[in-house]
Amino acid sequence: MIGIGAFLWGTGISGMAQNIEEEVPAVVLPELMEQQQNITVFTRLLQQTGWDKVLEQSQDDSYVPVADPPTDSPVKPCIVPQTKEIAFTVFAENDEVFAANNITDAASLTEYLKQHYVFHNSDLLYDDQYTDPRHVVNQFVSYHLLPQAVSPKQLVIHYNEIDFDLNAYLETGIPQTTVPVYDYYETLGTPRRLLKIYESSSSDGFRLNRFARYQKDEFAEKEVIDEGISVSAEQSLEAENGYVYLLDEMLVYDKSTVDNFAERIRIDLASRSPELMNLGYRRPLDDTFSSVYCQPGFQDWIQVISGNLYYLSGFRKGWCDYQGDEFLLKAPANGGEVIIKLPPVPYYGMYQVRLGTSGNSFRGTVQYYFSEGDTGWQPLGYPVCDKVQPWHANPSGYASYGWHKNSFSDPDIMLEAGNMMKAPASYIYGFGRGKPAREFSDVGRRILGNFFLESGKDYYIRIQSVHTEPSEIFLDYLELVPSEVFLHPSVVEDIW
């Protein structure tokens, strides 16, 4: 993607933050795809469903950057986005795949989906109204589209997973995959759905919707449930407003895919931000900037009611963050509030909702709320304090998240009784090949509650600071865990 300008402060200079790697064709995605000879069917499907018009967008002209940004970012230099870019990622089957299934256009795809597309929604249409979001072809096409630019270098995020050599990656530009790495993205269209992008040492590259179970004592695949669909940088195209990846198999959100999502869904909150990704600000691998001021209205997934929200890149900071980065809300005294829209769930059922936590002396006391829709807020227990004991000190008046290495009790059982869990063992605390986050008591996961959630409905978490002094609200990742995982009668949830 073309580098985007930003106002930068904190170093005594102002200028342009650039992420330019090579010249990109000055054409938008539909035009680029029309120029290709091997994706003519998918390009025609875009046109028949009307999604080609959506993919022509490249900038939100309604965005106006704040003229006088706050200066309380905890790390600098800090940048203020000057534009709000619109970009996309397209996964497109090549013509050979469609030919093998006798598909040439929307009509023939409709016939195919009558036999192969199984979904919970009984209102699906199979007529010729392809622009209707209820039509099976429209839903098929939209599941291939992401509202953010996912570059070949960030199909998955390599940074601080266990045993990963970050220094070697920075030197060579080639990541050596050690353990499974993945992320979940919300696709375009209705109903709201997730697409998983995955890589492991045994997956033979990147895969869409690969599902596996892991070893108990080693973060490695034990059983592959679905191999997934291969996707690669070699089979990709870049436009002015996004990327196209060519597929050698049919990508269908069918019943088996829905069922495979019966796993712990862990999502880095930065992956919920197309706005950051489209500017090239997600998980940078240099120190051009340390933070991004996210003014109210800049991002769609989170609503800032009060306080100043920052994205912290965390590059070489040694923080114990999932994928190394985080969001931080600087909350005023007796204030500071955000509303987070949860990712969609794949099917109706009970889910445990969790948030990653990291405590220190700058944190405060917060109250959590839950709501279907963004009204009728249900408080989740009492306010909780995140001022916890750092691993390297023992300040008076601070306690850990409830466990200690020398405790005679099982720490996991003790934590769960207080609606807490240890952090995952899949990523490390600090630089190099450090210890897993799971071994430290100042980081963990807060269990917000168990909720019956339904596919296609919108749910929200509201976080409100009730601290009497200025404080911080930490936002890193969230987990949606179906009861098949956290209440399984015989299989204990893995530590990864």
Query: Which tens digit of pLDDT belongs to each residue from 303-357?
Result: 999 999 999 999 999 899 999 999 999 999 888 999 999 999 999 999 999 999 9
pLDDT at 411 over 90: no
Output the pLDDT for position 178.
Answer: 94
Handedness of CA 246, 249, 254, 257 (dihedral sign): negative
Whether the CB-CB separation of 290 and 313 falls below 8 Å is answered with yes
Whole-angstrom CA distances from 400 to 104, 388, 414, 417, 438 are: 61, 5, 12, 15, 13
pLDDT at 27 over 90: yes
Output the pLDDT for position 418.
Answer: 73
In 3D space, the residue among 106, 148, 100, 166 whose CA is nearest the CA of residue 323 turns out to be 166
Contacts 24+ apart (CB under 8 A), 199-202: 199/155, 199/156, 201/177
Element (H, E) at 450: strand 443-453
Output the pLDDT for position 442.
Answer: 84
Output the pLDDT for position 7.
Answer: 57
Output the pLDDT for position 271.
Answer: 96
| Between 193 and 20, the higher pLDDT residue | 193
Give the predicted TM-score (pTM) of the model.
0.92
- Average pLDDT for 430-439: 78
CA 314 to chain CA centroid, Å, is 17
Amino acid at 408: F
CA 356 to chain CA centroid, Å, is 13
Whether the CB-CB separation of 208 and 231 falls below 8 Å is answered with yes
pLDDT at 19 over 90: no
The overall average pLDDT reported for the chain is 89
DSSP 35-101: T-SS-HHHHHHHHHHTHHHHTT--B-TT----SS-----SSSSEEEES--B--EEEEEE-HHHHHHT
Amino acid at 33: M
Output the pLDDT for position 21.
Answer: 46
- Average pLDDT for 94-113: 97
CB atoms within 10 A of CB 31: 15
Output the pLDDT for position 415.
Answer: 72
Residue percentage of the chain with pLDDT more than 90: 77
d(CA 443, CA 319): 10
* Parallel, antiparallel or unpaired: strands 477-482 and 349-358: antiparallel
Residue percentage of the chain with pLDDT more than 70: 89
- Average pLDDT for 393-411: 50
CA 464 to chain CA centroid, Å, is 22
Structure tokens at 313: 């890149």
Q: Each residue of 200-215: pLDDT tens digit? A: 999 999 999 999 999 9
Question: In the structure, what pLDDT confidence band is assigned to residue 156 with cuts at 50, 70 and 90?
Answer: very high
Question: In the structure, what pLDDT confidence band is assigned to residue 223 with cuts at 50, 70 and 90?
Answer: very high
Question: In the structure, what pLDDT confidence band is assigned to residue 389 with cuts at 50, 70 and 90?
Answer: low
Question: In the structure, what pLDDT confidence band is assigned to residue 6 with cuts at 50, 70 and 90?
Answer: low
DSSP 90-159: EEEE-HHHHHHTT--SHHHHHHHHHHH---S-TT-B-SS-TTSTTBHHHHHHHTTEESS---GGGSS--S
